[in-house]
Amino acid sequence: MHPHVILALLFDAVLLAVCIYALCRGGRPERFGAAINLLATMASNFFRLRDVVHLAPADVAILSIDVAVLAGFFSLAITTIRFWPIWAAGFALSNLFMSLLGGLLPRVPLFAYHTQLGIYAYLALGALALGTYRLPRNAEPHLRNGSRRSWLQHLKETN
């Protein structure tokens, strides 16, 4: 078996483990983060398995998925009281820049481009896992919900 196949299977195993953990133990923001990661990976794999042209840097389909991931994590970061979506949005932005620069600099080796994509994907999954871990098991409903609106309403009720 080729090393790139082993690495892809390892990533899929880590992705599934972190997303199942976030879906089962996390609050609303963690479930949204898991959905963003799962949907983006499935969409990317669909295009890349369909045609090898989508493996190139700055491919329009993959770039569109990267923009959607960045938008998803950004909107999650500005609407929640959690800190991890800010990190995930930063990693998504770095991923987007690497895709654009990989397209503008054709001498970037494909191995370096895909290694970078993997590193930032693992970092975003790490942020999600850490954010899920830091949520107390017996968190109150306003913490589990995670929205700024419910947090502010809880503060008004307690004061």
pLDDT for res 23: 97
Torsion of CA 28, 33, 38, 43, to 10 degrees: 120
pLDDT for res 129: 98
pLDDT for res 21: 98
pLDDT below 50 — which residues of the chain? none
- pTM score of the predicted model: 0.89
pLDDT for res 46: 92
- Chain length of the chain: 159
- Rounded-to-integer distance, Cα 105 and Cα 63, Å: 16
pLDDT for res 94: 92
* Segment 99-108 long-range contacts (CB within 8 Å, at least 24 positions apart): 99/57, 99/58, 99/59, 99/62, 99/63, 99/66, 100/57, 100/58, 100/63, 101/57, 102/57, 102/58, 103/56, 103/57, 103/58, 104/58, 108/57
- Rounded-to-integer distance, Cα 124 and Cα 10, Å: 16
User: Do the Cβ atoms of 128 and 25 come closer than 8 Å?
Assistant: no
- For residue range 87-128, what is the model confidence (pLDDT) as tens digits? 999 999 998 988 888 778 777 777 777 778 888 999 999 999
pLDDT for res 135: 93
Task: Report the 10 Å Cβ neighbour count for 84.
Answer: 26
Q: What's the distance, CA 98 to chain centroid?
A: 16
Task: Tell me if residue 147 falls in helix, strand or coil.
Answer: strand
